[in-house]
Structure 1
Amino acid sequence: MMKNTLSVIVITKNEEDRISRCLSSVTHIADEIIVFDSGSTDKTVEIAKQFTDKLFVTDWQGYGIQKQRALDKAACDWVLSIDADEEVDSKLAQEITSLLNQDVIEHNAYKVRWKNIIFGKPTRFGRTARACTRLFRRHGSRFDGAIVHEKVLFEGETGVIKKGFLNHYSIRDFEHLLYKNRLYAVLMAEKKFAKGKKSYGIPLAVLRGLITFIQIYVFRLGFLDGGRGLLYAVIYAQYTFNKYAGLWSLEQQSKQ
């Protein structure tokens, strides 16, 4: 048993093909697993119940609000927030266990490294290995209310767990890839519009997309991942363009 207890929180909707892998990866390190489902019509809830009795079905008001609902139910010292399409690998699990067994833990939150799994194979470059904040003290932490790309808020600096990965199985197939590209672009456009952000026109949206491609494919060495690296760079560049083109379209609609 770890000196500091751990709650794992997961939000779900129609994740029957991925939720078992996700929850299986944390059962041996979690003191409790909390799942918040927003109306799955498949077997997600049934499968999740095999791992926890702390399962709640609610409406959907956005990622930030849903994760805060899950956080509100957590009772342990620390919280690990992961998505249903993610998996804690064995090395990361060991590092989390080692950290939470310390008498004094330096930071209030920790980033973990991400590894994208694209069509069954991991990518090593591009946006893989960027760190995201997922492990944090429960007391004093909260999620913002963002509808998408939510952030956990806390006091102090963030540490980094440098060993192990959070494997990210984001893409089921090419159709699902295009669906997510469109969905997140629309949501981010709406988020930026609500905050009063400006698109500065379609030409700049094109330029932003090109810059994104160069960043991922060239500067972050995405080309070393072969066809998967090229596909990911193109798709993410397209997402960037769609996001700002969507913002521009909302600006035009507001003027009518």
Structure 2
Amino acid sequence: MKQPVKIPVSVVMITLNAERTLKQVLESVVDWADEIVIVDSGSADQTVAIAERFDCRIFDRKFTGFGAQKQFAIDQAHNPWVLILDADELVTEPLADEIVTLFSNGLPDCSGYTLPRNLIFLGRVLRHSGQNRQPVLRLFDRRQGGMTLVPVHESVRVEGAVGHLSGILVHYSYGSLHDYVLKMNQYTTLSAEEMAQRHKKATVALQGVRFLFTFAKIYVLKGGFLDGYPGFVWALLSAVYPVIKYSKLQEIQDGAEKPQTQPLLVVEKGVHSLNGTH
């Protein structure tokens, strides 16, 4: 049986408890990628064991923010060209074939390429809601660029021409609403901390307007209603996201502006309460 031809591309990703999707993601690239680099930040599940079965080059590193963590992974690659994936993004066969063809006659002419990405949410592909074939720059020459070094909502930036591929990258981002809430809690905290470092002020008075505008934009203007119930939930949670983010920013600002006092511990007939409340 003829072995697949490997192309000089390093697939790189960061992981943390990614066993839900990692096997399928690695299966989508192992036959054609020259190497797979994984930087794990302390997984407690089978993530590392799965990566070992695919002969990945595995590094353990404390999480320091998404931008810095991904850039560290990129820096470990042996090849100039890298494909950076999240551990829940699957390369479809048409996209894999397109990437292999791109490298069949040597290195590409562009500095990087965008891939159209589709989101799977509540078991359904969101064909609308602003998520259909969303272009993301993931395949690039690391000599021409890298990650933006921000804690969250990082992206790839390159110098030079950017081409566009047509094969789909499938994003299985949330296994359940529970997963979504966990990620939203993490991302909104990181975003609020990053905004606080930039001395951005929270505008609490605009929270209601911000919620309504975001929901209307996704559900109405971007056709989220055409995605059925998943589209409604996606629009709703997407509208909640900035409200929580700015509320956390306000919380940080309040903590910095107000004197910190220790709560008064009251003991009364064996009942403990804080600040005199039961």
Query: TM-score normalised by the shorter chain: which range applies?
Result: over 0.9
Kindly report which structure 2 residues correspond to 1:56-135, keeping only aligned pairs within 5 A, or say none: 56-103=59-106, 105-128=108-131, 129-135=133-139
Aligned twin of 1:246: 248
SS in 1 for 2:239: helix
Aligned twin of 1:54: 57
Distance, in Å, in 2 between the alignment partners of 1:173 and 1:118 is: 8
Residues 129-151 of structure 1: per-residue CA shift (max 9 Å, x gap): 21111111021322232111112
SS in 2 for 1:107: coil
Compared with structure 1, are the counterparts of its residues 197 and 99 closer, same or farther at alpha carbon in structure 2 (3 Å cutoff)?
farther
The one-letter amino acid paired with 2:40 is D
Distance, in Å, in 2 between the alignment partners of 1:170 and 1:141 is: 26
The one-letter amino acid paired with 2:145 is S
SS in 1 for 2:183: helix
Aligned twin of 1:204: 206
Q: Any stretches of 5+ residues in structure 1 without a counterpart?
A: none
CA contact (8 A) 1:12 1:35 kept: yes
Aligned twin of 1:41: 44
- Kindly state the Cα deviation for residue 103 of structure 1 after the two structures are TM-superposed: 4.7
- Kindly state the Cα deviation for residue 65 of structure 1 after the two structures are TM-superposed: 1.4
Distance, in Å, in 1 between the alignment partners of 2:112 and 2:212 is: 34
Q: Given the alignment of the two structures, is residue 223 of structure 1 paired with residue 225 of structure 2, yes or no?
A: yes
The one-letter amino acid paired with 1:118 is F
The one-letter amino acid paired with 1:47 is I
- Kindly state the Cα deviation for residue 5 of structure 1 after the two structures are TM-superposed: 1.2
SS in 1 for 2:237: helix
Compared with structure 1, are the counterparts of its residues 158 and 208 closer, same or farther at alpha carbon in structure 2 (3 Å cutoff)?
farther
Worse-superposed segment, 245-254 or 10-19 = 245-254
The one-letter amino acid paired with 2:22 is I
The one-letter amino acid paired with 2:198 is K
The one-letter amino acid paired with 1:238 is V
Residues 225-244 of structure 1: per-residue CA shift (max 9 Å, x gap): 00000110101110121112
Residues 14-70 of structure 1: per-residue CA shift (max 9 Å, x gap): 111211011111112211100111111111100111112411112111111111111
SS in 1 for 2:218: helix
CA RMSD of aligned residues (A): 1.7
Distance, in Å, in 2 between the alignment partners of 1:131 and 1:125 is: 14
Q: Given the alignment of the two structures, is residue 155 of structure 1 paired with residue 159 of structure 2, yes or no?
A: yes
Instruction: Pick the aligned partner of 1:145 from 127, 134, 149.
Output: 149
Distance, in Å, in 2 between the alignment partners of 1:227 and 1:107 is: 40
Worse-superposed segment, 151-160 or 56-65 = 151-160
Aligned twin of 1:21: 24
CA contact (8 A) 2:144 2:160 kept: no
Distance, in Å, in 2 between the alignment partners of 1:147 and 1:141 is: 18
Compared with structure 1, are the counterparts of its residues 67 and 209 closer, same or farther at alpha carbon in structure 2 (3 Å cutoff)?
same
Equivalent pairs, count: 253
Aligned identity (percent) is 36
Distance, in Å, in 1 between the alignment partners of 2:180 and 2:56 is: 32
Worse-superposed segment, 135-144 or 34-43 = 135-144
Compared with structure 1, are the counterparts of its residues 98 and 219 closer, same or farther at alpha carbon in structure 2 (3 Å cutoff)?
farther
Q: Any stretches of 5+ residues in structure 2 without a counterpart?
A: 259-278
Aligned twin of 2:266: none
SS in 2 for 1:180: helix
Aligned twin of 2:265: none
- Kindly state the Cα deviation for residue 177 of structure 1 after the two structures are TM-superposed: 1.6
**CA radius of gyration, larger in:** 2
CA contact (8 A) 1:181 1:235 kept: no
Distance, in Å, in 2 between the alignment partners of 1:174 and 1:144 is: 28
